[in-house]
Protein backbone atom coordinates (compact mmCIF):
# COMPACT_ATOMS: atom_id res chain seq x y z
CA UNK A 1 0.00 0.00 0.00
CA UNK A 2 2.79 2.46 0.86
CA UNK A 3 5.39 1.19 -1.59
CA UNK A 4 7.92 0.72 1.22
CA UNK A 5 9.69 -2.56 1.90
CA UNK A 6 10.71 -3.31 5.49
CA UNK A 7 12.88 -6.15 6.73
CA UNK A 8 12.91 -6.88 10.46
CA UNK A 9 14.41 -10.38 10.31
CA UNK A 10 17.67 -9.09 11.75
CA UNK A 11 16.10 -7.78 14.96
CA UNK A 12 17.66 -9.67 17.86
CA UNK A 13 16.00 -7.96 20.82
CA UNK A 14 12.57 -9.56 20.31
CA UNK A 15 12.60 -12.40 22.83
CA UNK A 16 8.88 -13.26 22.70
CA UNK A 17 5.89 -12.59 20.46
CA UNK A 18 2.36 -13.93 20.41
CA UNK A 19 -1.16 -13.00 19.35
CA UNK A 20 -3.93 -13.37 21.94
CA UNK A 21 -7.48 -13.73 20.60
CA UNK A 22 -10.77 -13.24 22.47
CA UNK A 23 -13.06 -16.22 23.07
CA UNK A 24 -14.80 -17.43 19.92
CA UNK A 25 -12.43 -15.67 17.51
CA UNK A 26 -11.40 -17.37 14.27
CA UNK A 27 -7.97 -18.91 14.75
CA UNK A 28 -6.85 -17.62 11.35
CA UNK A 29 -6.15 -14.30 13.05
CA UNK A 30 -3.24 -15.83 14.93
CA UNK A 31 -1.36 -15.22 11.69
CA UNK A 32 0.00 -11.68 11.93
CA UNK A 33 -0.33 -10.88 8.24
CA UNK A 34 -3.94 -12.08 8.13
CA UNK A 35 -4.78 -10.15 11.29
CA UNK A 36 -3.45 -6.73 10.39
CA UNK A 37 -4.50 -6.86 6.74
CA UNK A 38 -8.05 -7.56 7.95
CA UNK A 39 -7.80 -4.64 10.40
CA UNK A 40 -6.80 -2.27 7.59
CA UNK A 41 -9.44 -3.61 5.21
CA UNK A 42 -12.21 -2.97 7.75
CA UNK A 43 -11.50 0.75 8.00
CA UNK A 44 -12.80 3.02 5.23
CA UNK A 45 -11.75 6.46 6.44
CA UNK A 46 -8.23 7.53 5.55
CA UNK A 47 -7.62 8.79 9.10
CA UNK A 48 -9.06 5.78 10.93
CA UNK A 49 -7.18 4.58 13.96
CA UNK A 50 -6.15 0.97 13.35
CA UNK A 51 -4.66 0.05 16.70
CA UNK A 52 -3.18 1.24 19.97
CA UNK A 53 0.34 0.56 21.21
CA UNK A 54 0.73 0.11 24.96
CA UNK A 55 4.32 -0.05 26.23
CA UNK A 56 4.94 -1.73 29.58
CA UNK A 57 8.30 -1.58 31.35
CA UNK A 58 9.04 -5.04 32.73
CA UNK A 59 10.94 -5.81 35.95
CA UNK A 60 14.39 -6.95 34.85
CA UNK A 61 14.72 -8.90 38.12
CA UNK A 62 12.16 -11.43 36.83
CA UNK A 63 13.13 -14.31 34.52
CA UNK A 64 11.76 -14.16 30.98
CA UNK A 65 9.04 -16.73 31.73
CA UNK A 66 7.56 -14.54 34.47
CA UNK A 67 7.89 -11.40 32.35
CA UNK A 68 5.87 -13.16 29.65
CA UNK A 69 3.30 -14.36 32.17
CA UNK A 70 2.92 -10.88 33.66
CA UNK A 71 2.48 -9.17 30.26
CA UNK A 72 0.04 -11.81 29.01
CA UNK A 73 -2.12 -11.64 32.13
CA UNK A 74 -2.29 -7.84 31.90
CA UNK A 75 -3.19 -8.03 28.20
CA UNK A 76 -5.93 -10.57 28.87
CA UNK A 77 -7.49 -8.78 31.82
CA UNK A 78 -7.55 -5.33 30.22
CA UNK A 79 -8.04 -6.05 26.50
CA UNK A 80 -8.60 -9.64 25.36
CA UNK A 81 -11.44 -10.49 27.73
CA UNK A 82 -13.18 -7.34 26.48
CA UNK A 83 -13.14 -8.64 22.90
CA UNK A 84 -9.96 -7.04 21.54
CA UNK A 85 -6.99 -8.75 19.91
CA UNK A 86 -3.62 -8.24 21.62
CA UNK A 87 -0.42 -8.67 19.59
CA UNK A 88 2.38 -8.91 22.16
CA UNK A 89 6.11 -8.51 21.61
CA UNK A 90 8.68 -8.42 24.41
CA UNK A 91 11.94 -6.60 23.69
CA UNK A 92 15.10 -6.96 25.74
CA UNK A 93 17.80 -4.62 24.47
CA UNK A 94 21.43 -4.81 25.47
CA UNK A 95 20.81 -1.86 27.83
CA UNK A 96 18.92 -4.19 30.19
CA UNK A 97 15.58 -2.42 29.78
CA UNK A 98 13.04 -5.19 29.02
CA UNK A 99 9.62 -3.98 27.96
CA UNK A 100 6.48 -5.27 26.29
CA UNK A 101 4.61 -3.78 23.36
CA UNK A 102 0.93 -4.69 23.38
CA UNK A 103 -0.64 -3.72 20.07
CA UNK A 104 -4.43 -3.86 20.42
CA UNK A 105 -7.14 -3.57 17.82
CA UNK A 106 -9.63 -0.72 18.18
CA UNK A 107 -12.52 -2.97 17.13
CA UNK A 108 -13.81 -6.07 18.85
CA UNK A 109 -13.27 -9.35 17.03
CA UNK A 110 -16.38 -11.54 16.93
CA UNK A 111 -15.83 -14.84 15.18
CA UNK A 112 -14.28 -14.00 11.83
CA UNK A 113 -15.48 -10.38 11.67
CA UNK A 114 -14.30 -7.16 13.26
CA UNK A 115 -17.32 -5.48 14.80
CA UNK A 116 -17.86 -2.18 16.63
CA UNK A 117 -15.16 0.11 17.95
CA UNK A 118 -14.48 -0.50 21.65
CA UNK A 119 -15.09 3.12 22.60
CA UNK A 120 -16.29 2.10 26.04
CA UNK A 121 -12.66 1.25 26.85
CA UNK A 122 -11.41 4.71 25.86
CA UNK A 123 -10.61 7.41 28.43
CA UNK A 124 -13.36 9.95 29.02
CA UNK A 125 -13.08 13.56 27.85
CA UNK A 126 -14.01 16.83 29.49
CA UNK A 127 -13.67 20.28 27.92
CA UNK A 128 -11.48 18.90 25.15
CA UNK A 129 -8.99 17.26 27.50
CA UNK A 130 -8.55 13.65 28.50
CA UNK A 131 -9.87 12.76 31.92
CA UNK A 132 -8.51 9.26 31.92
CA UNK A 133 -10.40 6.71 33.97
CA UNK A 134 -7.85 4.11 32.93
CA UNK A 135 -4.52 5.53 34.01
CA UNK A 136 -2.36 2.89 32.38
CA UNK A 137 0.78 3.81 34.30
CA UNK A 138 -0.96 3.54 37.65
CA UNK A 139 -2.82 0.39 36.58
CA UNK A 140 0.42 -1.25 35.49
CA UNK A 141 2.14 -0.34 38.77
CA UNK A 142 -0.72 -1.79 40.83
CA UNK A 143 -0.95 -4.86 38.60
CA UNK A 144 2.75 -5.67 38.99
CA UNK A 145 2.65 -5.25 42.76
CA UNK A 146 -0.41 -7.52 43.00
CA UNK A 147 1.41 -10.09 40.84
CA UNK A 148 4.47 -9.95 43.13
CA UNK A 149 2.33 -10.53 46.21
CA UNK A 150 0.39 -13.39 44.59
CA UNK A 151 3.59 -15.16 43.57
CA UNK A 152 5.53 -14.35 46.78
CA UNK A 153 8.13 -12.26 44.93
CA UNK A 154 10.05 -9.79 47.11
CA UNK A 155 9.73 -6.81 44.77
CA UNK A 156 7.53 -3.78 44.51
CA UNK A 157 7.20 -1.07 41.90
CA UNK A 158 7.32 2.56 42.91
CA UNK A 159 7.46 5.03 40.01
CA UNK A 160 9.11 7.57 42.29
CA UNK A 161 12.24 5.41 42.13
CA UNK A 162 14.68 4.79 39.29
CA UNK A 163 15.56 1.31 40.59
CA UNK A 164 12.81 -1.10 41.71
CA UNK A 165 12.58 -1.45 45.46
CA UNK A 166 12.27 -4.72 47.34
CA UNK A 167 8.99 -5.28 49.15
CA UNK A 168 9.62 -4.82 52.86
CA UNK A 169 6.19 -5.83 54.11
CA UNK A 170 5.54 -5.95 57.84
CA UNK A 171 8.15 -8.54 58.76
CA UNK A 172 10.14 -7.02 61.67
CA UNK A 173 13.02 -9.44 61.04
CA UNK A 174 13.56 -8.40 57.43
CA UNK A 175 16.02 -5.62 58.26
CA UNK A 176 18.20 -6.69 55.34
CA UNK A 177 15.40 -5.55 52.99
CA UNK A 178 15.55 -2.04 54.42
CA UNK A 179 19.31 -2.08 54.07
CA UNK A 180 19.08 -3.26 50.45
CA UNK A 181 16.50 -0.59 49.57
CA UNK A 182 18.65 2.08 51.20
CA UNK A 183 21.59 0.95 49.07
CA UNK A 184 19.40 1.13 45.96
CA UNK A 185 18.35 4.67 46.86
CA UNK A 186 22.03 5.61 47.14
CA UNK A 187 22.61 4.08 43.70
CA UNK A 188 19.71 6.14 42.37
CA UNK A 189 21.42 9.32 43.51
CA UNK A 190 24.62 8.32 41.74
CA UNK A 191 22.72 7.49 38.55
CA UNK A 192 20.95 10.85 38.65
CA UNK A 193 24.25 12.70 39.16
CA UNK A 194 26.32 10.82 36.59
CA UNK A 195 23.82 9.70 33.95
CA UNK A 196 20.88 12.14 33.72
CA UNK A 197 19.94 10.85 30.26
CA UNK A 198 18.93 7.49 31.73
CA UNK A 199 16.73 9.29 34.27
CA UNK A 200 14.97 11.21 31.49
CA UNK A 201 14.44 7.98 29.57
CA UNK A 202 12.82 6.37 32.60
CA UNK A 203 10.60 9.38 33.28
CA UNK A 204 9.59 9.58 29.60
CA UNK A 205 8.42 5.96 29.72
CA UNK A 206 6.28 6.67 32.79
CA UNK A 207 4.94 10.17 32.18
CA UNK A 208 3.66 11.93 29.06
CA UNK A 209 4.32 15.33 30.64
CA UNK A 210 6.62 16.13 33.55
CA UNK A 211 7.83 19.25 35.32
CA UNK A 212 11.37 20.57 35.74
Q: Which bin fits 178, alpha (ψ -120 to 50), beta or left (φ > 0)?
A: alpha
Q: pTM score, two decimals?
A: 0.69
Q: Is the pLDDT of residue 54 over 80?
A: yes
Query: Which is more confidently placed, 56 or 172?
Result: 56
Query: Which is more confidently placed, 192 or 122?
Result: 122
**Tens-digit pLDDT profile for residues 141-174:** 888 888 888 888 888 776 555 455 555 554 555 5
- Nearest-angstrom CA–CA distance, 104 and 110: 15
CB atoms within 10 A of CB 95: 9
> CB neighbours of 134 closer than 8 A, spacing ≥ 6?
78, 121, 123
User: What is the chain's Cα-based Rg?
Assistant: 20
Looking at residue 130, its pLDDT comes to 47
Amino acid sequence: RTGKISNYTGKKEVVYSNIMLPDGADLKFQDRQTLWNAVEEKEKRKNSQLCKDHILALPKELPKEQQVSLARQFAYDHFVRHGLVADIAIHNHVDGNPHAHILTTTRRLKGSEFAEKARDLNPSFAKGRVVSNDQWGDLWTDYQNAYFIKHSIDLRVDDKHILPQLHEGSNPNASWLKSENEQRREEEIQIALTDPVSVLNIISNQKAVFTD
